[in-house]
Amino acid sequence: MAAILSLVLAALATLSILLLLWQWIAARSFPLHQQPAALSHPPPVSLLKPLKGAGDSLEECLRSWLEQDYSGPVQVLLGVESPDDPAVPVVEKLRRDFPKRTLELVVCHDLRGPNFKISKLVQLEPLATSEILVVSDADVRVPPTLLNGLVAGLGNSQVGLVSCFYRLANPSTFAMQWEAVAINADFWSQVLQSRTLQPVAFALGAVMALRRGELPGVGGFASLENCLADDYQLGNRLAKRGRAIEFSPLVVECCSESMTWTLAWQHQLRWARTIRVCQPTPYFLSILSNPTLWPLAWAISAPAPVTLALLAAAVITRGVVVIDLERRLTGSLPSLNRLWLAPLKDLLQLGVWLGAFLGNQIEWRGIRMRLRRDGTLELR
C-alpha cells in the first residue's frame, strides 16, 4: 500500500508541475498591454457604473474613465442607492472638474434581489443612449486607451462581449500580498489555460463591453438580480447563443480597500464557492494543479533525495512562474517574497478548496447570504 501511495503521489506531483508549465506557456502567448489603434469613426458609448460608498480610490478610479482618450461621445451613468451615499460628493466634484462630460448621477431606489449591483444596472440601462454598453465595478481604474480597445474588440459581429483581465493594484497588507498571488499571477493565467481547451463561456466583471441589442436575448440585466456570479452568467448565456467572448489585451486595476487576513480569507472563500457553483467539475479537479501540495505530500510519504529534490525544484519553479506572471500583468517586477508566498498560497488553497464544498454561506459587503446550488442568492 505504501508503494502504491507513493506512485500515486509521484504521478500527482508530476502532473501538477506539468499543469503549471502549461499554464505559464498559455499566459505568455497572450498579447498583454497591446495598445489598440485609434478608431476612425468611434461610436457612442454608455458607461454604466454602480456605486456604493466612497473608498479612498473612488475619485481616482472614476477620473480614469473621464480622462479616456476616446473621440466618440461617452455617456457616464453612475448609480447610487440613496442621495446620502458617500459617493455623491465625489461625483459632484467630478462634475465640476469635467463640465464637458455627460455625467449623470442616478439614485436607484428600487433595489430588488440580493445583487444590488445588478439592481442598479437594471435602472441605469433604460437611461443609456448608446448601443454599446460598458459595465464596470466602482473600484476599477483603467488606462486611457481602454474604450478604444473595448470598442475595437466588438468590431467583429460574432463577438458578444469583451472583458478585461485585472490586477490587484494596492496589495498593502500581508494578507493582500497573499491574495495578489491568486489575482495577479494565477487567475488570469488559469483562464487562458482553460481557453486552450475550449472557447471561453464566461465574462470577467471588472469591465465588460457588449452591444445593447444582446441583452433581450439573455433575459436582460433583470434576469441576473439573484445571481452571485452575474458576470459569469452574462457571458455564459451569450456564449450559449453562439456569441464569442473575448479578452482585451489591456489590463485594468482593482483598487481594493485594505484587507485583514479575515477579510482576505472571506473574499477567497466567496470566490471559490462562486466558481464551484458555476463550474463544479473543473473546480473539483483544480486541486490537481496545486504544484506545492502534491510534491510536498510525495516527499512526506516517501522521504528520499529524489523526492526532496523534486519538492525543491517544484517550489523554486512555482516562485519563478509567479514572479514572471505578475511582472507580465502588472508591468513591474514584484517583490521577491513571492518565492515563498506562492508555496504558502498553494498550501492555504487546500483549505479554501475544501471550504468551497463544505458550506454555502457567503458574506458580501457585510451582508450574509446563502448560495443556492443554481448560483442564486438568498438573504439570510
- Is residue 202 domain-shared with residue 285, that is, in the same domain? no
Grid coordinates representing 310 are 523534486
Could you give the CA distance from residue 135 to residue 148 in angstroms, rounded to a whole number? 15
User: What would the grid cell of residue 207 be?
Assistant: 469591465
Nearest CA-CA partner of 134 in 232, 39, 212: 212
CATH of the domain at 224: 3.90.550.10
Same domain, 143 and 25: no
C-alpha cell at 113: 434581489
Q: Are residues 15 and 126 in the same domain?
A: no
Decide if 99 is inside a domain: yes
Q: Averaged over 287-316, what is the pLDDT?
A: 95
The answer to whether residues 222 and 298 belong to one domain is: no
Share the mean pLDDT of the chain: 93
**% residues pLDDT > 90 (the chain):** 81
Per-residue confidence (pLDDT) for residue 203, from 0 to 100? 96
* Identity of the amino acid at 336: L
Output the 3-class SS for 123-192: HHHHHCCCCEEEEECCCEECCCCHHHHHHHHCCCCCEEEEEEEEEECCCCCHHHHHHHHHHHHHHHHHHH
State the pLDDT at residue 380.
66
pLDDT at 235 over 90: yes
Helix (H, G, I), strand (E, B) or coil at 79: strand
Measuring CA to CA, which residue among 258, 226, 223, 256 is closest to residue 238? 223
Is residue 367's pLDDT more than 80?
A: no
Which residues make Cβ contacts (< 8 Å) with residue 261, sequence separation at least 6? 174, 175
CA angle 68, 129, 120 (to 5 degrees): 85
Domain edge (last residue) among 257, 284, 317:
257
| Residues 240 and 313 grouped into a single domain | no
* Mean pLDDT lowest among 110-114, 180-184, 308-312, 339-343: 110-114
Query: What is the pLDDT at residue 113?
Result: 77
Residue 138 confidence (pLDDT) above 80: yes
Q: Residue 346: inside a domain, yes or no?
A: yes
Query: By the 8 A CB rule, do 218 and 234 touch?
Result: yes
Parallel, antiparallel, or unpaired: how do β-strands 74-80 and 102-107 relate?
A: parallel
| pLDDT grade for 268, boundaries at 50, 70 and 90 | very high
The predicted pLDDT at position 365 comes to: 67
Strands 159-168 and 207-211: antiparallel
Q: What is the pLDDT of residue 142?
A: 97
Q: Do 250 and 309 share a domain, yes or no?
A: no
Q: Angle at which helices 188-195 and 305-330 pack, to 10 degrees?
A: 100
What pLDDT digit, counting tens, does each position of 157-170 carry? 999 999 999 999 98
Query: Does 293 reside within a domain?
Result: yes
CA distance linking residue 42 with residue 71, whole number of Å: 7
Which grid coordinates are listed for 135? 459595465
Q: Confidence band (pLDDT; 50, 70, 90) for 1?
A: confident
For cell 474604450, the residue is 147
| pLDDT classification of 211: cutoffs 50, 70, 90 | very high
pLDDT band for 112, please (50, 70, 90 cuts): confident
**379 part of a folded domain:** no
pLDDT of 92 > 70? The answer is yes
In a domain, 189, yes or no: yes
pLDDT tier, 346 (very low <50, low <70, confident <90, very high otherwise) = very high
State the Cα–Cα distance between residues 242 and 265, nearest whole angstrom: 36
Task: With respect to residue 40, please indicate whether it lies within any of the assigned structural domains.
Answer: no
Q: What is the mean pLDDT of residues 75-86?
A: 95
In a domain, 218, yes or no: yes
Domain endpoint, select from 197, 225, 257: 257
- Is residue 372 assigned to a domain? no
Cross-strand bridge partners of residue 210: 133, 161
Distance CA 253, CA 164 (A): 10
Average pLDDT rounded to a whole number, residues 133-150: 96
CB atoms < 10 A from the CB of 181, how many?
29
Domain extent for 88: 45-257
Question: Where on the phi/psi map is residue 68: left (φ > 0), alpha (ψ -120 to 50), or beta?
Answer: beta
Residues with Cβ within 8 Å of residue 212, at least 6 apart in sequence: 46, 125, 128, 130, 131, 132, 133
Strand partners, 230: none
3-state SS, residue 315: helix
Regarding whether 317 and 169 lie in a shared domain, the answer is no
Count of domains observed in the chain: 2
